Every structure is written in C-alpha cells, then in structure tokens.
Structure 1
Amino acid sequence: MTFISKDRPQTGNSATPSSNRHSATDTGLIFMFAGQGSQYFQMGRELYDHDDIFRHHMDRCDRLLSFDLRDVLYNDAHKGGAFDAVEWTHPALFCLGYSLAQVLIEQGYRPSGVLGHSLGEYIAATIAGMFSLEEGLELVVRQAQILKQTCAEGSMITVMESPEFYRKRPDIFFRASLGGINYDGSFFVSGLADDLQRVLAALNSASVFSVQLPVRYGFHSSAIDPAESEFRNICRSVRLSRPQIPFYSCALAGDVSRHVWDSSDEYLWRIPRGEAQFKTMVENSFPNPERYTFIDLSATATLSGFLKYGFGDRYTHHFAINQFGRNLDSMATLLSQITP
C-alpha cells in the first residue's frame, strides 16, 4: 500500500505492546475502541498539551497524514462546530484511540485483549499486531476518501428502545437498516440522509428518545455499498498477521476467527458494512465477567456506557476520557482504578 504522507519519514511498524511489568495474560485488561459518532473537536486536547506520551504518538500519527491533524482537532476556531467530515474524523478517531492505548501500554498496562466496534476494529487490530500503524491508518484514510468519492450522504440514529421495536414498527423504520444492537435497550439505524430524517421525525412524533449521530455516511447499511468494490480491492493488498493477543470483533460477534486470514477483504469490508453486534459479542466472548476489566479508549466513553446501561454491574469498566474535558483528571482516575 502506498501511504498518503507529508513526505516525512515513517516511524517503525510495530504497534503491538512492548514488554513491561505485566504479561499479556495476567492483566485481565480489555482495551475497547469505538468508531464513528464518538468524535468531537478538541478531543484529547488537555492530554496533548500536558502528556508527553500521548503527544508523542499523536505527532507520530500526524506525520503519516497529508494534512495537519492537530490543527484540525485543536484549532480554537473549530470549537463548538460539527465534527463530521469523514476525511478528518476517520483518521482523528484512529489516531486518538491508538495514542490513548500507548499512554497505558508505555506505563506498563498491557492489554490481555482488545475489542473493536465499527471503525474501532481497525484500531484494535493495530494494537493486536494484525497490521502496522502505517497500514491501519492508511486503511481508514483510504476508506474515507472512497466513501466521499462514491457514496451519497447518509446518517445514523441511536434509538433508546428494545431492538424488537425496530422489527415491530416498519412504518417508522421504512428504508432504514438496523445498523447494530448496543444492548437490550439501545440500537442504531442507518441509511441515506433523507430517509433517516424521516425516521427521526417519526421517532419524535412517537415520543421515542433518539439521537442523530454526527456522521455523514450510512455506515452498516446499503448506503455505503457504492464504496465496496474499490475498498475491497485495497483490502486485498493488506496482509493480515495473526493477532498477538485475543481480538474481539463486533463485526463477527466474537473472537476474530480463522477464516479472516483467507479473506482479508471480506472481513475488512464487513467492519463498516455489517451489523455491529456489541451485545452479542460481549455475551459470546466474556461469560466470566469477573476475569476482566474493560477500558474504554474512545473519545466519549461510549462502550463503557453500553456496559453500564446494558449489563448493570456484571462487568467492571472504566474510561480514559470523555466529552466533558478534564482529561488529565480522568486519566489519573483510570490509572488509580487499574493499578495492581
């Protein structure tokens, strides 16, 4: 793959955790990475300003891009604006999740496994060693470019109802796909922008609480099918390595399986196109919750929220940052909670 860079030298390929004071099998830590819809301008700003490890890895990622990611994210002129341009949000989410993971890894907190939801699967795959930082970041950059070139604009809506509500009310969800099930009381739908606006209006009329996500494309629906052929062609050039730690996939509703090695393009396309099955994946993969501590390394603690509201106190979970700022405090709290 030819990377889109600023003609700056590339850094090393290894994105897997280095050996520190924990082994990969004794921590019980599961690093979680969410995808589109969790982004916002200024995410991680306080860490970038004050945490040397986070800043180093954000800068490392930035050198691989054709634009100045830090200026996009941390330009004060962007505060309060809608952060939904996919050519920015795809790499921004990837770089943020990767850099947050490195903050923990370089302080000795190696994950026993990684968990990815939607775009977050590409971050998880990188941390697990399935491909390099350069390859993972290029993949999301190229996906964003292809989406912008080939797909009509779409939308995604989180609905705070049982997934059965989707099946029982085809009048509301006409031409909207079930994009994923977060937990028993939450799912999301996806599709073309005009269709989703009608869905949102119908949900409001029915007094059903819903949230339109800050995305411009209908991930996990046929709205992105025009991107399939070109993106899969790119994916065929990606050589996947076997993960060096367990890797749990919402696209596959469980552990990454053997068939992935024989059909990398099928799996890598399924991540944005297939149903994101967080609820089923958790139930299939973690039947003994007491063995694990889940660390949400996304921008808004989205997946930690899914565990909290979907599974009660069964799973121990923490987050690194959220949309309310005070990143240094939240990171310090996290480290105090998982210190051996």
Structure 2
Amino acid sequence: MSLTAHTAVTRRLTVETGSGPSRRTAAEVPGPLLDALGHHRPERLPARTVLYVGGFPAPTRPSADHRGLPVRTEPTPGRALRLAHRELQAKTADLALVATLDEPETGAVTVQVLRRAAEAVAEGGPVIGVLDLADVSGESGLSGLSRLSGESGLSGDEEQAPVVRPLRNGVRAADTEGHRLLIWSGADEPDETRVRRDLLSLLDDLAPEAFAGLPTAVPYGRAFGPVRASAVTTAHRAPADVAAAKAVTTRHQRPVALLFPGQGSQHTAMAAGLYRRDPVFTAAVDAVLDLMGEDGPAIRADWLSDRPVIDIDDVRRAQPLLFAVDYALGRTVLSWGVRPVALLGHSAGELVAATLAGVVSLPDAVTMMRERVTEAVKIPAGGMLAVAAAERTLRPYLAGDVAIAAVNAGQQTMLAGSTGPLGEVASRLRADGHTVVAVPATSPFHSPAMAPASDALELSYRGLDLREPELPFYSGYTGELMGREEALSPRYWARQVTDTVNFAPALDQLLAADDVLLVEAGPRQTLTAFARRHRAVRVGASAAVPLLPAKPGTPEDDRRAVLTAAARIWSEGHDLDQEALSRLWTWRQEPAGTDVARPVVAGATAAG
C-alpha cells in the first residue's frame, strides 16, 4: 500500500491561548501556536506552510496572513483537518499546522502538524499516525478537490474530525531464503572469539524461519565493543560465513560522506530490489514520484518493467529515476542513524545533495528536476563521452559545441556536445589511440548546446525558496565547499546543465578536510571507482564503499549490496539502528488496497 494518498500527523500538543473568554478567539491563535512549536520566525518554515484554524465559536477571525503565513479558518475542527488533508494531497501545501478549539470551556487549543505521509516516513521523523478519512479514502490531488464547495471548501457531511490511526504500511514477512546481516563484537579479541563461538552454537540446527527472526546484533542488548565482525549471509551459509568472518579493531571512527551519481549511472530496474522491501526507501521513491504528478505512475512502470515504453537512457526517465533512487538511498542511510559530515553530488546528483543539505525542499527539488527535463528535451540530440585522458590532453580535440563536461579523476574526463560534432571528436580521439566510451545519455548536458535550457531554467528557478546548507555540501561546479552565494543563486542551479562538473577538485577538497568513509548512494559504483583512484583512498586514509552493485543484477543482488555497505559502515565504528536494518529482511509493503489501519509492521517511529 502506497502512503502517497495519506496524511500523517507528526506532532501534537496543547496550547493555552488564555484563560478568559475574550482570549478564546481564532484571531489570537497564530502567535501562541508558532511560539509553542518553536517557530518564532515563519520564514524558517517550508515555503508552502499553511495554518488551519477550526472550531472557534467567536466571530473574530485571524487575518488571512500571519507574518507571511497563510491562514485558513474553518467553523469546525473536522473541516479544518479535512481541508488541510486535501490541500496537502493537492500539493498546494507542504506542511499544515492545524489548530482546533476542542475544549471551549478551558480555551485549550489542540495543535497538530500534518505532512504527506510518504514524505514524513522518508525523512525518518516521528509519526503519530495517519488521518483516517473513510469518506475520502483513496482520493488524492485534484480529484479530492473536485468535491469542494462553499466558502469552507468542504461539504456539510464532513463536520466530524477524522480519527488518527497508527501508521502501519507493511507486513512482517521473514525472508527465509534471502540474505540478512549479522553483527557481533567484543571488548577485545578473546571476547570477540567467545561471542562468535556462542553465535555459532546458536546457529546449529536453527530453522530458516528462526534464523530470519534473530536480532541483528548477537547477543541482543549488549553494548558494542571495538573489535567487530559481521556476515551478510543466508540461513544455509550462516555457520560457514560467521566462522570465516574477519574481525577488525576500530580505533578511529571515520565519519561518513555521501556521494550521489548523475546521468550515465542509470540502468533499468536500478535499486528495484529495495522497493517494497525497505520502508524508508519505498516511501522516499513514492514521495518523489508522487510529486511528479501524472508522469509519476508512468515513470514507475518503466522503472520496474523489462520492456519500458521510454528507454532508461532517455532524459525523461534517466533524470527523474536517478533523482528518486539517489534520494531514497540517501534517506535509507540516514534512517540507520548515520549523520554524514559531507555531501557531494555529480551533475544531477548535486540536486539530491542539495535536498538532503536543506538548500531546497523535496517538492521544489522535484520541480527543478522536472523543469530541467522539460528544457532538455527541447535541445537537439546530443550525447556524452568518457575518455581515459586528462583534461589538458583533450582540449586540442574540442570542436563545435563539444566541451569538457566533467573532470572526474586524473585520467577520467567526460566530453559532451551535439551528435554531429561529438561523433567527429570521438573518431579523432580513437584514431589517435585514446580509449573512448559513450555515456548513456541522449542530451548534451554540460556543453554550450544546453545554453537555451540554462537561460529558461534561471527564469523558472527565481521563485524558489533557496536556503543556506545545513550540512557541509561540496559543489561539483566550483570544486569548493558550497557557500551562501551559490546556494541561493538561481543562476548557479541553472548553469548546472551547461557548466563543467569539477568532481575531482571537489573530492580533493572533501578528502583534504578529513579522513572519511565515502558511501556512494546510487547505481553502478561509478563514483566509487573514481574515489578509489584518489591518493587519500589508495593509501588507506579514507575509503569508498558503494550501496548498489556495479552492474544490473537480481533484486537479491541489490539487497545484499546494501547490507554489505551497512556492515562496512558498522565495522568503521558507527552504531547503526538495528531495527531499521532488519526491515530489509523482515518487511514487505502491503498489497495495493489494503486498509492502512490493519495490524502490520510500522514503517516509522511512533511518537506522542
């Protein structure tokens, strides 16, 4: 069951607006409400935040705007909550603050914070539950708005406030044949040996069903020690794999930096083995595709199909799906309790990094990506080439609109341009003995051919709510740590489609700042390969690990790769969320049409 048609309650509290009847008016709600939520400055809220006020008998209403915050006033709590739900689903609001006067005698106001459920689960914050609107179940977007009537926008039979049900969007379904992760540790090497021996005794003659149900860490509840070992294994192979696992002693916990690949890394069904098998990954992909509107279902269908209607290398599929997969993988790693010290994206992957760094909201990022695709398809066909040579070696070969598209490593450079000129350059390079590989792309990204698209994007990006990064975020264009000027500049984000990607210089800066574990959150391991050529990684100061396989494989290959990456992060000294990890072999999404309130496994943390 997809969460995209549901609205989540992420926070609930009571606000006292005053003891006298004269203070129990809707007009006096916004100020105390924002103070209670800790949002003294509305400009720090998401751009599409709306305050809904309902159930106040006094004739006094708040203004339609409170310090820049839109305010909707409804006669009953039920109408306020239902209107908030419908506007969230219609994408006219991204965050709803619903204040209702449930106890007129005391003047106490109940405040609930509402979000689209898939986005709330993807971001890993607390979720109290979802609104149960039986009479509008299954409606979303504009179809729900078609029932609006009158000033309040809601029909008279919707006075009663909807019930908040627990969020349960999956079922327990232990995978008895697939891979799972086992981790264990010791205070020293003899202690780790003893724990491993106990684990092997536990595994003797253990039924496959029981194996899948074992805790992630054994013994359960024990504090982790510095000597650590792990096994990504199956029920059948577990004894041999546990016995053969190499223990490592963690002396220095290298922090994690996330890398996000762009165009050229995509392939059919990339990361599909995680879809409907990990709640955070699934919710994140669904949230992104839902924000794509009517294109979302077709993009999902092509992603999961052996015979897509539009090929994966077409910009109309490559860029939306790369954004969805990269973003979902990033959210999955964050759900394990990892807090990255740096983010770096390559080309389209930089937009994912910007989203996770807080520069742009998810809805705005999806809008930016869609605008990018819209303008790209207007440009005459072109492509990209990967050449095993340094930038300075390739400059004499450039002709027409062919340009240096990306500097990825010392001897790894990409060229881009229109089809004709690019083909001529490729022929000359091959004739001179250079290794040239066509990158899967149908548009000449990062070349002057994209200039008309860049100009159009700058105009469309001017209305976005861009903010300073909340996490260290390295620019793949300047090659430096992202500054305020670049982050807030529509021109900077528009230039992405024409300018050279300086991935290698940006990686230099990142690895000069600290010794880190680089985790590539995307398909094909392209950035991992570039990173492993870097001197800091070659000498062992830093390291690089991919989340997905190097080439297309089976769904089980996807899950095994992610678990292997998690094991590596844990062996570096990071104490990961064991429950979040275990869902990869104990969780499945419900079939379509299943009631959201059925007793199944929660996909997000409950909180009061």
Q: How does 1:189-338 map to 2 (within 5 A)?
A: 189-260=415-486, 264-290=489-515, 292-311=516-535, 312-314=537-539, 315-322=542-549, 323-325=551-553, 326-338=557-569
CA distance in 1 between counterparts of 2:381 and 2:421 reads 11
Establish whether residue 137 from structure 1 lines up as the match of residue 366 from structure 2: yes
Deviating more after overlay: 126-135 vs 81-90: 81-90
> Secondary structure at the residue paired with 1:50?
coil
> Secondary structure at the residue paired with 1:273?
coil
CA distance in 2 between counterparts of 1:17 and 1:191 reads 41
Contact 1:18 1:106 in 2 (8 A): no
Deviations 1:222-256 (A, max 9, x none): 01011122110011111211111111111120110
Contact 1:118 1:271 in 2 (8 A): yes
Establish whether residue 76 from structure 1 lines up as the match of residue 303 from structure 2: no
Contact 1:232 1:266 in 2 (8 A): yes
Q: Which residue of 1 aligns with 2:287?
A: 60
Contact 2:407 2:503 in 1 (8 A): yes
Once the two structures are TM-superposed, the CA of residue 333 in structure 1 deviates from its matched residue by 0.4
Q: How does 1:37-56 map to 2 (within 5 A)?
A: 37-56=264-283
Q: Which residue of 1 aligns with 2:375?
A: 146
CA distance in 1 between counterparts of 2:387 and 2:124 reads 36
Give the structure with higher Rg (CA). Answer: 2
Once the two structures are TM-superposed, the CA of residue 88 in structure 1 deviates from its matched residue by 1.7
Contact 2:261 2:527 in 1 (8 A): yes
Contact 1:180 1:188 in 2 (8 A): yes
The change in CA–CA distance for 1:181 and 1:102 in structure 2 (over 3 A counts) is: same
Once the two structures are TM-superposed, the CA of residue 18 in structure 1 deviates from its matched residue by 5.2
| 4+ residue segments displaced more than 6 Å | 12-17
> Secondary structure at the residue paired with 2:398?
coil
Once the two structures are TM-superposed, the CA of residue 220 in structure 1 deviates from its matched residue by 1.1
Contact 2:528 2:544 in 1 (8 A): yes
**Paired amino acid for 1:297:** A
Once the two structures are TM-superposed, the CA of residue 161 in structure 1 deviates from its matched residue by 1.4
Deviations 1:94-136 (A, max 9, x none): 0000001111111211212211111111000001111111110
Once the two structures are TM-superposed, the CA of residue 44 in structure 1 deviates from its matched residue by 0.8
The change in CA–CA distance for 1:338 and 1:148 in structure 2 (over 3 A counts) is: same
The change in CA–CA distance for 1:16 and 1:252 in structure 2 (over 3 A counts) is: farther
Once the two structures are TM-superposed, the CA of residue 143 in structure 1 deviates from its matched residue by 1.0
For structure 1, the residue ranges without an aligned partner over 5 or more in a row are 20-25
Contact 2:342 2:510 in 1 (8 A): no
Contact 1:321 1:330 in 2 (8 A): yes
* Greater relative contact order structure (CA < 8 Å, 6+ sep): 1
CA distance in 2 between counterparts of 1:75 and 1:129 reads 33
Equivalent in 385, 388, 403 of residue 160 of structure 1: 388
Once the two structures are TM-superposed, the CA of residue 174 in structure 1 deviates from its matched residue by 2.2
**Paired amino acid for 1:156:** M
The change in CA–CA distance for 1:112 and 1:27 in structure 2 (over 3 A counts) is: farther
The structure with more strand, counted as a fraction of residues? 2
Cα RMSD, aligned residues only: 2.4
Contact 2:311 2:317 in 1 (8 A): no
The change in CA–CA distance for 1:111 and 1:261 in structure 2 (over 3 A counts) is: closer
Contact 1:18 1:105 in 2 (8 A): no
**Paired amino acid for 1:159:** V
CA distance in 2 between counterparts of 1:119 and 1:288 reads 24
Establish whether residue 122 from structure 1 lines up as the match of residue 359 from structure 2: no
The structure with more helix, counted as a fraction of residues? 1
Contact 1:87 1:144 in 2 (8 A): yes
Once the two structures are TM-superposed, the CA of residue 283 in structure 1 deviates from its matched residue by 1.8
Contact 2:267 2:552 in 1 (8 A): no
Contact 2:263 2:441 in 1 (8 A): yes
Once the two structures are TM-superposed, the CA of residue 31 in structure 1 deviates from its matched residue by 0.9
The change in CA–CA distance for 1:78 and 1:207 in structure 2 (over 3 A counts) is: farther
For structure 2, the residue ranges without an aligned partner over 5 or more in a row are 1-46, 49-87, 92-115, 127-252, 575-608
CA distance in 2 between counterparts of 1:271 and 1:195 reads 21
The change in CA–CA distance for 1:261 and 1:30 in structure 2 (over 3 A counts) is: closer
> Secondary structure at the residue paired with 1:304?
helix
**Paired amino acid for 1:300:** R
The change in CA–CA distance for 1:203 and 1:267 in structure 2 (over 3 A counts) is: same
Deviations 1:267-322 (A, max 9, x none): 102222211111111223321552x1111012111111111134352431111113
Q: Which residue of 2 aligns with 1:34?
A: 261
> Secondary structure at the residue paired with 1:188?
strand
**Paired amino acid for 1:320:** L
**Paired amino acid for 2:385:** I
Contact 1:54 1:100 in 2 (8 A): yes
> Secondary structure at the residue paired with 1:180?
strand
Contact 1:179 1:190 in 2 (8 A): yes
The percentage of aligned residue pairs carrying the same residue is: 23
Equivalent in 407, 412, 416 of residue 181 of structure 1: 407
Contact 2:453 2:497 in 1 (8 A): no
> Secondary structure at the residue paired with 1:145?
helix
Deviations 1:8-65 (A, max 9, x none): 555377786759xxxxxx8721111111111111101111142232122111222112
> Secondary structure at the residue paired with 1:234?
helix
Contact 1:217 1:223 in 2 (8 A): no
CA distance in 2 between counterparts of 1:156 and 1:61 reads 27
Deviations 1:256-275 (A, max 9, x none): 0122255x212102222211
Contact 1:251 1:270 in 2 (8 A): no
CA distance in 1 between counterparts of 2:351 and 2:523 reads 15
